[in-house]
Structure 1
Amino acid sequence: MRVGRFSGNTHSSIVMGLLLNLLSLSGCSALPGNAPTEHGVLKVAAEKKNPLDFLVLPITSEVTQVLATEHPPLISSLYADSAYSVSNDRIGVGDILDITVFELGSGLFSGAVPETSANVSVSPGGGTASVTHQALPPTEVEADGTITIPYVGRMHVAGVTPQRLAEQIRVAFTGKSQNAQVMVRIGSDIANTVIVSGSVHHPGRVLLSTAQERLSDVVAIAGGANYPPEDTFVQLVRGDKSGGTDLGTLETYTKEDIQARPGDRIHVVYQPRSYTVFGAASKNAMQVDFNSPTVNLAEAIARVGGPNDSLADPNAVFLFRFEDPVAAKALHLRTPETFQGIPVIYKLDMMNPTSYFFAQKIPIKSKDVILIANAQTNRFYKFNQLIGTLISPAITAAWIAK
């Protein structure tokens, strides 16, 4: 029985034929890719596979103008009355009051041992009388906002100034004391304070003064933030509302650095800013820290080496962002809002020289995602590489068999 043998050329031809048949069945679509193409992004945005209903906006002069002047929703936007000045010298619940009563001659407190007494002239004729002053025991403002004054009774004092309370007590002493004069001082001030917590050097209670301290002032009084201002998030809780922004913004924009009010709670959080780049960049996908007060879109792309010459489609650089309602309204976006904001994708054409000017004006926000799309020819390029990788051993074997 004769056993047939294939020649080396015949064997190589069969192997090559099988490989080509397999590759033709799978096609280029079966090859792996690290990012979608421009067509892939636009197709999803236009189809029903888009559950967020986001839009893709080309970066034009109009879009750039909106984004360049955009600021995140800041603390001042949450309070329509932020410009209203609040006095920080009001008496409140929990305060300890020091009350001193000055009396002329025989008075209500003349039987008590005075702290100080003096003879003063009380008439042009040179007559003198003894003037004494008596410090009442430290008095705490109770939960209902009242205190008890000897010979007067209970008085509601919460919300009034020490000067106003002194006048009210003086009037109450009329007819009971001879020309009484009263001084009131807040000895232990609880009501006119704010609580500062988090990443500051001296967290705790900060007393507000009549100088009308602003939020950045309060952080400074608490010893300052532990981290750079741009990476420090300041959250303000006022009543049932809250808002926040980074400390660098408070220090830069006076309008946003609103006046602190008694009862505010200020939480300082270390929140380093970063953005993420995916796709056909010259460097691998990475998270990039800001490490500077601001970063624009051109700088963000340059930090990852820009588009890869052999893999990327420079016509399609996408900026993924959850936009804030103010900018979304200016851009006429009707996309439903999520708890993070309004999802939108901005498309930059880096083959257009004008786009480089636009990119320098668009600030990057923390948590932005930049996608450098794969070129349409990228899979075909990989397909050819795969064919070469598979066929080369067969060609080598055929050459050795000769």
Structure 2
Amino acid sequence: MGGALLLLAGCNTLPDSGPTEAQVNHAQRDPKKNTVGYGIVQVTPELVSQLAQEVPPALDSLDTGNVPTIQTNNDTVGPGDVLQVSIYEIGSALFSPSSAAMTASSVSGTNTLPSPSTASNLPPLPIDGNGDLDVPFAGLIHVTGMTTDQVAETIQARLKTKSQSPQVLVRISSDIANSVMVYGGVQRPSRIPLTPNRERILDVIALAGGEERPSGDERQPQTDEDYVVRLTRNGRIAEMPLKVIENEPTQNILMQAGDRVQLTFQPRTYTVFGASDHVTQTHFKTPTLTMAEAISRVGGPVDSRSDPNAVYLFRFENTDVLRRMGLPVEGNAPTAPIVYQLDMMNPANYFLAQKFMMRDRDLIYIANSSSNKFYKFFGLISTIIAPGITAAWMAK
């Protein structure tokens, strides 16, 4: 009995790379150790189906119940825009320098024929913060929400009593109101003006030069799946991988004035700890990655040290998913910690591992076998006594 107690004490003092299945389960039930409140859920066909139905907020969700007050075709003007106004007049022109000479000739009695028409280009006219445009002889005009044709008609109506048959042309020389900001991992971060052609989100990314490909390690390939598009519209935010937008036309939504598009390079990785061939952080390298593929990339469980019954995946899961599982969720946090357990001694679970999809920043832990410490202890004893046995044998 004394020898057994000594053996157990010796085993418990040996170093280890991580907990066993029993230790993980015990720590989950101990409030002092489980300070983050995680639960352990077995990977089942129902769980895989439920997780497969979870989808992040789509970009087209920002269109639902978020219709602009004024529907436009990207040809209206607003505060910050700069307009170029051209005025064509017949006879004595208000805006032409020749009008003063013609007036003087009329006073002196000189017989001077008026020019059939005169074109005048006004200096660039900015629209102020209140949406007003100040036009000489026409006064202050509130133009926010008007098209360029409507602005021209308004100016023309005000000049009719002061000029002979005026004709007005208006164009936008600097378009601020109908523009979106594109920034982040694009080649030319800038303000992109929208046109009546109705640009979509992929269009404005392309106009900003497309994704910026940083020179990186060849072992870390840069794919469109690693670029995330973040759209901010009227205080609401949605994110989606660039590849998903490219593959799903419904997500290539129309841009609205004032949208902000951020492109971010976020290489997806997962981490492996415990009794595997490699304790490492690994890049996805492919558009999608299953749990089976992730485990196989690091060599899988090591026969001499691992417990295939206890392969864990640690994740911060969306709280809506946890509520559907019937797990308690505290507060209004968007995510909560959860641990998924896969029993690799059950052949049926290999099919589940092929359908369980990995996510960015997932952590896989392969538990140590409970008998691992005994093997370590006997290995240590053998190392200590082996030289003595060898010396005794040589002495004979």
Length-normalised TM-score, structure 2: 0.82
Cα deviations by residue, 1:150-187 (Å, 9 ceiling, x for unpaired):
22211122332222222332333454455544332111
Gaps of 5+ in 1: 1-17, 115-128
| 1:40 is the counterpart of 2:23 | yes
Cα deviations by residue, 1:340-363 (Å, 9 ceiling, x for unpaired):
822111111222222222222222
Per mean C-alpha deviation after superposition, the further-off stretch among 42-51 and 225-234 is: 225-234
Seen in structure 2, the aligned counterparts of structure 1 residues 215 and 221 have a Cα distance that, compared at 3 Å, is same
Q: Which amino acid in the other structure matches residue 109 of structure 1?
A: L
CA contact (8 A) 1:108 1:176 kept: no
| 1:304 is the counterpart of 2:289 | no
- Aligned equivalent of 2:390, options 371, 385, 396: 396
Secondary structure of 1:27's partner?
helix
* Aligned-pair Cα RMSD in Å: 3.0
- Aligned equivalent of 2:145, options 156, 159, 163: 159
In structure 1, the partner of 2:36 is 52
Secondary structure of 1:361's partner?
coil
| 1:29 is the counterpart of 2:23 | no
Per mean C-alpha deviation after superposition, the further-off stretch among 239-248 and 269-278 is: 239-248
Alignment map for 1:346-361 (pairs within 5 Å)? 346-361=340-355
| 1:66 is the counterpart of 2:61 | no
- Aligned equivalent of 1:387, options 378, 381, 388: 381
- Aligned equivalent of 1:247, options 237, 242, 245: 242
CA contact (8 A) 1:106 1:178 kept: yes
Give the Cα separation in 2 of the matches to 1:93 and 1:143: 5
Secondary structure of 2:40's partner?
strand
Q: Which amino acid in the other structure matches residue 39 of structure 1?
A: A
Cα deviations by residue, 1:19-62 (Å, 9 ceiling, x for unpaired):
x6994362322222212222222221222121111111111112
CA contact (8 A) 1:318 1:370 kept: yes
Cα deviations by residue, 1:268-290 (Å, 9 ceiling, x for unpaired):
22221110111112x22011111
In structure 1, the partner of 2:262 is 267
**How far did 1:131 drift?**
5.4
Q: Which amino acid in the other structure matches residue 247 of structure 2?
A: T
**How far did 1:336 drift?**
3.4
Seen in structure 2, the aligned counterparts of structure 1 residues 313 and 110 have a Cα distance that, compared at 3 Å, is closer
Aligned residues: 369
Gaps of 5+ in 2: 100-114, 214-222
CA contact (8 A) 1:86 1:261 kept: no
Q: Which amino acid in the other structure matches residue 23 of structure 2?
A: G
Give the Cα separation in 1 of the matches to 2:63 and 2:57: 11
CA contact (8 A) 1:52 1:336 kept: no
**How far did 1:305 drift?**
1.7
Give the Cα separation in 2 of the matches to 1:320 and 1:86: 48
Length-normalised TM-score, structure 1: 0.81
Seen in structure 2, the aligned counterparts of structure 1 residues 260 and 328 have a Cα distance that, compared at 3 Å, is farther
Q: Aligned residues: percent identity?
A: 41
CA contact (8 A) 1:92 1:145 kept: yes
In structure 2, the partner of 1:343 is 337
| 1:149 is the counterpart of 2:135 | yes
Seen in structure 2, the aligned counterparts of structure 1 residues 196 and 348 have a Cα distance that, compared at 3 Å, is same
In structure 2, the partner of 1:212 is 198
Give the Cα separation in 2 of the matches to 1:326 and 1:79: 22
Secondary structure of 2:249's partner?
coil
Per mean C-alpha deviation after superposition, the further-off stretch among 332-341 and 134-143 is: 332-341
